[in-house]
Amino acid sequence: MVETNQIVDRDTMAQPELTLSLCKDLSVALAKFPRVALGHLPTPLEPMDRLSEELGGPRLWVKRDDCTGLSSGGNKTRKLEFLMADAVQSGADTIITQGATQSNHARQTAAAAAKLGMECHILLEDRTGSNDPNYIMNGNVLLDRLHGASVSKRPGGADMNAEMVALAEDLQQNGKTPYIIPGGGSNPIGALGYVNCAREVTEQAAAAGLKIDALVHATGSSGTQAGLVTGLAAIQSDIHLLGIGVRAPKDKQEGMVHDLAVRTAEYMGTGVQIDRDLVRANCDYVGPGYGLPTEGMIAALKLLARTEGLLFDPVYSGKGLDGLIDQVRKGYFDGMENVVFLHTGGSAALFGYPDTFDLHGYTS
Ligand SMILES: *Cc1c(COP(=O)(O)O)cnc(C)c1O
């Protein structure tokens, strides 16, 4: 028997109550999917007041997904909670994935596989052509090896998906049961991690009495943004989401994000519709190419290191930050009060790029 006073009429609910009630529904929807605990969640949400003062725009905050804990943290940990659970459930004993040489995704995957007692094979694509020994062996590559992953290289432009399939066939012939995780962990399963993050940051802000106007982050293989778009749509959030591209041009990036968000919503089976205009990417901060430093990234990274004591990376979060800072200066967020930068991690890659920061004898 249903008592009428227990039926929630959403149209008459105040917006914050509606949002929190939709967050609960989203938790229930996500709980249907297998998940292993790998990250320290929820990650902190902290003000960046010295930076805000320096820039003179909205109050800036940082969502610390660089603090997810797994092998120094980063955004791939949230995706791996769902991907590794799917791997375990499918009976796999071996993980295969791929990325660029200084891939943070590869490093977190190697760590997750180690924690779950699985073998891990990583294929690294040389997208930059750098011969710097630090780039080739230090930073994330050092950590991949420390976690016991087997690491092998492929030339830039190789068909990495085909390479992973070929490796899986070899491993199968040797009696292994491999599970392939796509680059960046970006498929509907991995994106669930960021559907969950949309819920997490919304509940966290509500508990702190904070109204988030915009959420900004670096976008690459698109799973992070696709998950956030899907999660924010599910809770009918009006947070303005902006991805800062690190590789593809705007049309391609937005198309990838939208496509994956639609597939993620379908996979969840909650009937959430993903409008194309919810997907916004600014791809003006890529510079000469993926993984290649820009002046803006260097300046942004140094500014945050010196005003907030925060570390970012040259490939993703540093370029995302360059976009955030430049857009604050250009007035993109004018009229907004609180803008959150989602820190997707990556500072382990700094040790692959020591010369970029030209700190020998640095005095100023
Ligand atoms: C992978 C990565 C991103 C981009 O996330 P996608 O889900 O691939 O778009 C951003 N920042 C860092 C540090 C990353 O490692």
- pLDDT, residue 14, reads 72
Of 363 and 112, more confident: 112
- pLDDT, residue 201, reads 98
Mean pLDDT calculated for residue range 295-317: 98
Confidence grade of residue 9 (pLDDT, cut at 50, 70, 90): low
Minimal-distance CA residue to ligand 1 atom 15: 104
- pLDDT, residue 4, reads 42
- pLDDT, residue 242, reads 99
Confidence grade of residue 358 (pLDDT, cut at 50, 70, 90): confident
Catalytic residue among 52, 71, 72, 103: 103
Query: Which amino acids bring their CB within 6 angstroms of ligand 1?
Result: 74-75, 104-105, 184, 186, 218-225, 313, 316-317, 344-346
Q: Best of 66, 101, 104 to mutate for ligand 1, by most ligand atoms within 8 A of CB?
A: 104
pLDDT at 247 > cutoff 90: yes
Per the confidence metrics, is the pTM higher than 0.85?
Answer: yes
pLDDT at 3 > cutoff 70: no
- pLDDT, residue 15, reads 77
pLDDT at 360 > cutoff 80: no
* Ligand 1: nearest atom to the Cα of 74: 13
Q: Best of 75, 297, 322 to mutate for ligand 1, by most ligand atoms within 8 A of CB?
A: 75
Q: What is the 3-state secondary structure (H, E, C) of the chain?
A: CCCHHHCCCHHHCCHHHHHHHHHHHHHHHHCCCCCCCCCCCCCCEEECHHHHHHHCCCEEEEEEHHHCCHHHCCCHHHHHHHHHHHHHHCCCCEEEEEEECCCHHHHHHHHHHHHCCCEEEEEEEECCCCCCHHHHHCCHHHHHHHCCCEEEEEECCCCHHHHHHHHHHHHHHCCCCEEECCHHHCCHHHHHHHHHHHHHHHHHHHHCCCCCCEEEEEECCCHHHHHHHHHHHHCCCCCEEEEEECCCCHHHHHHHHHHHHHHHHHHHCCCCCCCHHHCCEECCCCCCCCCCCCHHHHHHHHHHHHHCCCCCCCCCHHHHHHHHHHHHHCCCCCCCCEEEEEECCCHHHHHHCHHHHCCCCCCC
- pLDDT, residue 266, reads 98
Cα of 332 vs centre of ligand 1, distance in Å, is 23
Mean pLDDT calculated for residue range 117-124: 98
* Ligand 1: nearest atom to the Cα of 345: 13
- pLDDT, residue 6, reads 45
Minimal-distance CA residue to ligand 1 atom 8: 221
For residue range 151-210, list pLDDT tens digits in order: 999 999 999 999 999 999 999 999 999 999 999 999 999 999 999 999 999 999 999 999
Mean pLDDT of the chain: 95
* Ligand 1: nearest atom to the Cα of 104: 15
Mean pLDDT lowest among 11-15, 91-95, 269-273, 360-364: 360-364
pLDDT at 343 > cutoff 90: yes
Q: Best of 98, 125, 221, 282 to mutate for ligand 1, by most ligand atoms within 8 A of CB?
A: 221
Cα of 27 vs centre of ligand 1, distance in Å, is 24
- pLDDT, residue 361, reads 54
What whole-number percentage of the chain has pLDDT above 90?
92
Mean pLDDT calculated for residue range 228-256: 98
Does the annotation count 103 as an active-site position?
yes
For residue range 69-108, list pLDDT tens digits in order: 999 999 999 999 999 999 999 999 999 999 999 999 999 9
Cα of 14 vs centre of ligand 1, distance in Å, is 35
pLDDT at 10 > cutoff 70: no
Cα of 223 vs centre of ligand 1, distance in Å, is 8
pLDDT at 363 > cutoff 80: no
Cα of 280 vs centre of ligand 1, distance in Å, is 16
